[in-house]
Amino acid sequence: MAEVRPRIPMKAGYFTIPDDPAAPPEVICSRCQDCGEYFFPQRLVCAKCLSRRTAEARVPARGTLYSFTFVHMPLFGSMRVEHMEGYGVGQVDLPEGPRLQVPLAGKQDEFRVGMKLLGELDALREENGKDVVIIRFRPAES
Amino acid sequence: MEKVAILGVGMIRFGLYPDTHHTIMARDAGLAALDDAGVSFTDIDAVYVGHLFMPAMAGVRAVKEIGMTGVPVQRVENASATGTAAMREAYLAIAGGHYDTALVLGFDKMTTVIGSAPNPQDMDEAILPAAFFAMWATRRMHERGTKPEHLAAIAAKNWNYGALNPMSQRQPKETVTVEKVLEARMVSWPLTAMMSCPIGDGAAAAVLCRADLAKKFQPDRPVVRIAASHLGSEVYERGHLFMGPVVGPAQMSRDAAKNLYQQAGFGPKDIQLVQVHDAFVIEELEYYELLGFCREGEAEKSIEEGRFALGGAVPFSTDGGLTARGHPGGPTGLAQIWETTLQLRGQAGKRQVPNARAGLCHMMGGGSVCAAHILVRE
């Protein structure tokens, strides 16, 4: 059993870190209270209707793969061997509307435009006894 | 509004200059443009400098190496579109009647920023520009059946143009083939290193003046005039990417083209050559359509027919483009102006486009913006 360390986000404000290590994260968006549009990351002014009445909206981390690539370089900020050979990157459409640009779990031949994905937290490195985590998406189907 | 001409252009060859200070590179490009224009620095009413990676004060200090006449010096920055955006400021000031002449100077040393690691605390940094544009390619392949061979054909064309341009960073000794481009190191699938612009240093400059003065300075040369100038930023639409080194959305280039053609009073049928932001060759493929040089969905067929190659209907990236000529940052857009001006004068040597009367220069800047001009020979 690997040691379970406390987890901290690479940068605060983008995704949640559930207390239960098995639970999936949520994506922290803003939602316009006037026109209903969702945005990631959070913003004050609605880019669609310019209303300032936006509020934090947490949504499940799942979506559809709009496009992807596989970068043949180490992942910035990661100390993990798995990330040294390169990493997948995808544009993921949440059902609420926002498109995210995020690392993908898996190899290039596992990705297909239009496939369903689920979000998960991935530890990049250890800092002061804590795991620094980032959100990434993994194919929900094979 | 006054009409505005490109009176002179100058640049140094883009490349790796670890031992040359950026001030010296900028000076040499600026002096070359003044010489080409046939003017002295005392004739210059204002200077606009564009640099992206250099420290504060770099612009005004570089201008001091060219001359100290008390002239106003203004720095402009707009990512990859920096040089183009600086030229637009000079254009607006002359068109508005504030100045008769202006020097535009772009320079950068990308080699000095390599190794300054991105901030590992920032989620944006996980997504490289190469990955962002590779995702354009993947999506295009999904929607239109584009093959890596189409991308490689654009790259090979641009590398081979680079061989004809003495100012190009990449000057292949042998003809570059589609196979060679495909065999190059994979950077971000499906983009190989030869489909991606190099890291480099450079400087480029242009002298602008009121069009009615151009004949006074250069009586024996055709006048190259700015027929249209555009700068635009993004309009929100669903699916907009708010993070990462983003360029787009596509509508920004469609809007730029529409505005340019309206100002110029003519469209793509009357344009003989085009320079675009081909930092990664998938961009050039998209701009064929977005700028109106072929119908949506016909870029692949047009590539197969050689429509945008030298000898084709409308050659693109005739100086090698960002792919071969290079993309140091600040000077890139001015290198496009250098190339188009020489083409319109009929001075482009082996890469001369026959009967070039109008050329379009299109740049994108991360963030993002689209800055573009149409130049015409009077």
Mean pLDDT of chain B: 95
Contacts of B289 (CB under 8 A, 6+ apart): B295, B296, B297, B298, B299
B90 neighbors B102 (Cβ within 8 angstroms): yes
Count H helices and E strands in chain A, helices first: 0, 9
Please determine, for residue A83, whether its predicted confidence score (pLDDT) is greater than 90.
Answer: no
pLDDT score, position B115: 47
Interface of A with B in 96-135 (CB under 8 A): 97, 99-103, 108, 113-114, 134
Q: Within its chain, how far is the Cα of B361 from the centroid?
A: 6
**DSSP character for B189?**
T
Please determine, for residue B310, whether its predicted confidence score (pLDDT) is greater than 90.
Answer: no
Whole-angstrom Cα distance, residue B285 to residue A120?
A: 35
**DSSP character for B297?**
T
> What number is the ipTM of this complex?
0.93
pLDDT digits (tens, 9 = 90+) for A35-82: 999 999 999 999 999 999 999 999 999 999 999 999 998 777 777 777
Please provide the DSSP assignment of A57-122 as one string.
EEEESEEEEEEEEEESSPPTT---GGGTS-EEEEEEE-TTS-EEEEEESS-GGG--TT-EEEEEEE
Least confident among A128-137, B240-249, B328-337: B240-249
Position B166, amino acid: P
Angle at A61 between CA A60 and CA A66, to 5 degrees: 125
Q: How confident is the model at residue A1 (pLDDT cuts 50, 70, 90)?
A: very low
Q: In this prediction, what percent of chain A has a pLDDT beyond 90?
A: 79
pLDDT digits (tens, 9 = 90+) for B192-223: 999 999 999 999 999 999 999 999 999 999 99
Whole-angstrom Cα distance, residue B103 to residue A113?
A: 48
Can you give the pTM of this predicted structure? 0.95
Query: Which has more pLDDT, A68 or B113?
Result: A68
What sign results for the dihedral spanned by CA atoms B335, B340, B341, B343? Answer: positive
pLDDT score, position A25: 97
Mean pLDDT of chain A: 92
What is the dotted CATH code of the domain comprising A61-142? 2.40.50
Contacts of A133 (CB under 8 A, 6+ apart): A7, A8, A9, A10, A17, A121, A122, A123, A124
pLDDT digits (tens, 9 = 90+) for B177-197: 999 999 999 999 999 999 999
Distance from CA of B287 to the nearest CA of A (A): 19
Pair of tokens at residue A42: 């959070």
Partner-chain residue, chosen from B139, B190, B236, that has the shortest CB–CB distance to A48? B236
Whole-angstrom Cα distance, residue A57 to residue A37?
A: 11
Please determine, for residue B120, whether its predicted confidence score (pLDDT) is greater than 50.
Answer: no
Q: In this prediction, what percent of chain A has a pLDDT beyond 70?
A: 96
- Among chain B residues, the shortest Cα distance to A37 is held by B238
Query: What architecture is domain B4-112+199-217?
Result: 3-Layer(aba) Sandwich (3.40)
pLDDT score, position B247: 85
The count of C-alpha atoms lying within 13 angstroms of the C-alpha of B158, restricted to the half-sphere facing its C-beta, is 36
pLDDT score, position A77: 72
Please determine, for residue B132, whether its predicted confidence score (pLDDT) is greater than 60.
Answer: yes
Count H helices and E strands in chain B, helices first: 12, 11
Q: What is the mean pLDDT of residues B38-49?
A: 98
Contacts of B139 (CB under 8 A, 6+ apart): A66, A67, A91, A113
Query: Which has more pLDDT, B123 or A99?
Result: A99
Pick the residue of A31, A89, A107, A136 with the most B CBs within 10 A to test the interface with B by mutation.
A89
pLDDT digits (tens, 9 = 90+) for B247-282: 878 999 999 999 999 999 999 999 999 999 999 999
Q: How many residues does chain B have?
A: 378
Asked if A71 lies within 8 A of B132 by C-beta distance, the reply is no
Q: How confident is the model at residue B43 (pLDDT cuts 50, 70, 90)?
A: very high
Position B158, amino acid: N
Whole-angstrom Cα distance, residue B90 to residue B104?
A: 7
Residues of B with CB below 8 A from A97's CB?
238-239
Interface of A with B in 28-87 (CB under 8 A): 37, 39-41, 43, 47-48, 66-73, 75-77
Q: What is the mean pLDDT of residues B44-49?
A: 98
Contacts of B282 (CB under 8 A, 6+ apart): B133, B134, B136, B137, B140, B151, B191, B195
- Among chain B residues, the shortest Cα distance to A91 is held by B135
Q: In this prediction, what percent of chain B has a pLDDT beyond 70?
A: 96
Closest listed residue to residue A121, CA positions, set A110, A141, A137, A97: A137
Burial status of residue A17 (CB atoms within 10 A of its CB: 0-12, 13-18, 19 or more): middle
Whole-angstrom Cα distance, residue B86 to residue B330?
A: 9
Q: What is the mean pLDDT of residues B290-311?
A: 97
pLDDT score, position B23: 96
Q: How confident is the model at residue B116 (pLDDT cuts 50, 70, 90)?
A: very low
Partner-chain residue, chosen from A48, A108, A134, that has the shortest CB–CB distance to B123? A134
Please name the helix (run of DSSP H) or strand (run of DSSP E) that holds residue B230, with its range, or none. strand B224-233
Please determine, for residue A113, whether its predicted confidence score (pLDDT) is greater than 80.
Answer: yes
Please determine, for residue B126, whether its predicted confidence score (pLDDT) is greater than 60.
Answer: no
pLDDT digits (tens, 9 = 90+) for B57-100: 999 999 999 999 999 999 999 999 999 999 999 999 999 999 99
pLDDT score, position B339: 98
Q: What is the mean pLDDT of residues A79-105?
A: 90
3-state helix, strand, coil in chain B (%, to 5): 40, 20, 40
